[in-house]
């Protein structure tokens, strides 16, 4: 990315070079995986090899994986599949879950960004029927990690189903579908070094869903449309790399913690959201009181540093983060927070550049320094 300091990995991670190589090879090969001739069989092998690689990363069985066009389709597939059930979602979900869920009941978050388990219990008990619950594994804005296994046990005790959006978690922390106890799980390749436009819904063995897209019999009749073989192969390669580098990703916590300490030293009145909870090693949501997030993002961009104001899927919308508001932040505080997310290519010198640029802006624009 030339001289740009890219610190927006939660929006999309740069595609790994090894992934590009695999995808180019598949594009040269061609072939429709539904065809029975040699080219078709070769394409089918590519799809199934990738499915196996992804299953190894996710701790699930290969047939439980349904390839989709990305995380948004996977979330819609899961949440629109049980319209007959009461639907409960956490207050910090991604926009694709919020939109797919419609008027679903929100489960409140505590100030640390964790689901209020007592409130969830009360909702399940009063539902009158087994519910479908959706709680993301790791938040895209704060990095806060939810206790999904505990949530799944509570949901199942009341006869319900649990979907978890694990899109930000996969490739950053160990994810074991079986151990989590979820019934459905969404993932997306471009968050862990794969290409954009490819994802998957993991569907617990024995749980049937009506297809969201109808047509041919692809994906065992669960998702119609010719598979995007090159993207699927790229996702499989990215999964292999991510599994091998989980420890390396965890080590980013050192850079993240140093960054937060330096920002708070410059601006003691700033707030790090979710800091007291378990978080992804790469994610910081930090406020600069009195300075709008959009101004911060633009100022840093002019200095060649890429960060974001909340979810990338909400870019261009000048409104406070619903995630931070669900954690109890005021509109003003939520509107002054930016997200900084590190990744496989992040270096200490890049953190230095960010701190210097952020500090200069703080001294120019913070009400604290106004005469």
Residues 6+ apart with CB under 8 A from 232: 46, 47, 50, 51, 67, 198
Maximum Cα–Cα distance across the chain: 76
pLDDT given for residue 2 in this prediction: 55
CATH architecture of 17-244: 3-Layer(aba) Sandwich (3.40)
Q: How high is the pLDDT of residue 318? A: 52
What token pair was written down for 343? 């990744």
Angstrom distance (rounded) from CA 105 to CA 119: 11
Short-list 351, 334, 236, 233, CA closest to 286:
334
DSSP code per residue over 49-89: HHHHHHHHHHTS-GGGEEEESSHHHHHHHHHTS-TTS-EEE
Tell whether domain 5-13+247-369 is in CATH 3.90.1150.10: yes
How does pLDDT run along the chain (371 residues), one tens digit per residue? 458 999 999 999 999 999 999 999 999 999 999 999 999 999 999 999 999 999 999 999 999 999 999 999 999 999 988 888 999 999 999 999 999 998 899 999 999 999 999 999 999 999 999 999 999 999 999 999 999 999 999 999 999 999 999 999 999 999 999 999 999 999 999 999 999 999 999 999 999 888 888 887 888 878 888 899 999 999 999 999 999 999 999 999 999 999 999 999 999 999 999 999 999 999 999 999 999 999 999 999 999 999 998 655 554 555 789 999 999 999 999 999 999 999 989 999 999 999 999 999 999 977 666 64
Between CA 249 and CA 332 the distance in angstroms is 33
Could you tell me how far CA 126 lies from the centroid of its own chain?
30
Q: Which of 361, 235, 214 is nearest to 289 (CA)?
A: 361
User: Residue 211: what pLDDT?
Assistant: 84
Q: Rounded to a whole number, what is the distance in angstroms from the first to the last CA of the chain?
A: 39
3-state secondary structure of 106: strand
The closest alpha carbon to 89, from 104, 75, 78, 102, belongs to 104
Contact 347, 251 (CB under 8 A): no
Asked whether 200 and 67 are in contact (CB, 8 A), the reply is yes
Pick the catalytic residue from 15, 253, 312, 313. 313
Residues in the chain: 371
Q: Are 133 and 165 in contact (CB under 8 A)?
A: no
What is residue 123's predicted lDDT score, i.e. its pLDDT?
97
Tokens representing 73? 């389709």
pLDDT score at 118: 97
How many whole angstroms separate alpha carbon 168 and alpha carbon 347? 21
Contact 278, 137 (CB under 8 A): no
pTM of the model: 0.94
- 60 catalytic? Reply is no
Per-residue pLDDT at 213: 83
State how far the Cα of 339 lies from the Cα of 288, in Å rounded to an integer. Answer: 11
Sorted by where each begins, the domain ranges of the chain are 5-13+247-369, 17-244
Q: Do domains 5-13+247-369 and 17-244 have the same CATH topology?
A: no
Q: Rg of the chain over CA atoms, in angstroms?
A: 21
* Structure tokens belonging to residue 250: 């965890």
Give residue 1's pLDDT.
44
Q: Which residues contact 80 (CB under 8 A, 6 or more apart)?
A: 100, 212
Q: Which residue has the tokens 């499989």?
A: 236
C-alpha 177/C-alpha 184 separation (Å) is 9
Pairing outcome for strands 132-134 and 87-90: parallel
| Tokens describing residue 171 | 């490739």
């Amino acid at each position: 990315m030339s001289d740009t300091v890219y610190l927006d990995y939660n929006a999309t991670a740069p595609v790994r070079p090894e992934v590009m190589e695999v995808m180019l090879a598949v594009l040269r090969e061609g072939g429709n995986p539904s065809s029975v001739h040699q080219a078709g069989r070769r394409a089918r092998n590519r799809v199934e090899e990738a499915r196996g690689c992804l299953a190894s990363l996710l701790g699930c069985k290969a047939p439980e994986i349904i390839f989709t066009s990305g995380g948004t389709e996977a979330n819609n597939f899961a949440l629109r599949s049980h319209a007959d059930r009461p639907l409960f979602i956490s207050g910090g979900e991604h926009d694709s879950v919020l939109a797919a869920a419609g008027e679903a009941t929100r489960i409140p978050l505590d100030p640390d960004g964790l689901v209020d388990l007592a409130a969830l219990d009360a909702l399940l008990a009063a539902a009158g029927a087994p519910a479908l619950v959706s709680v993301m594994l790791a938040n895209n804005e704060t990095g806060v990690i939810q206790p999904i296994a505990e949530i799944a046990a509570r949901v199942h005790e009341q006869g319900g189903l649990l979907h978890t959006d694990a899109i930000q978690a996969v490739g950053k922390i160990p994810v074991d579908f079986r151990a989590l106890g979820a019934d459905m799980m969404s993932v997306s390749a471009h968050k862990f070094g794969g290409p954009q436009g490819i994802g998957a819904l993991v569907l617990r063995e024995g749980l049937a869903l009506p297809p969201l897209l109808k047509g041919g019999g692809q994906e065992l009749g669960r998702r119609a449309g010719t598979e995007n073989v090159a993207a699927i192969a790229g996702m499989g390669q990215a999964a292999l790399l991510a599994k091998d580098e989980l420890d390396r990703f965890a080590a980013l916590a050192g850079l993240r913690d140093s960054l937060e300490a330096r920002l708070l030293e410059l601006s003691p009145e700033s707030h790090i959201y979710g800091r007291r909870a378990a978080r992804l090693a790469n994610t910081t949501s930090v406020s600069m009181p009195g300075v709008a997030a959009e101004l911060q993002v633009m100022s840093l961009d002019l200095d060649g540093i890429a960060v974001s104001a909340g979810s990338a899927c909400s870019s261009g919308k000048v409104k406070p983060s619903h995630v931070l508001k669900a954690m109890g932040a005021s509109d003003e505080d939520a509107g002054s927070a930016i997200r900084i997310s590190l990744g496989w290519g992040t270096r200490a010198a890049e953190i230095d550049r960010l701190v210097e640029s952020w500090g200069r802006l703080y001294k120019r624009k913070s009400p604290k320094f106004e005469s």
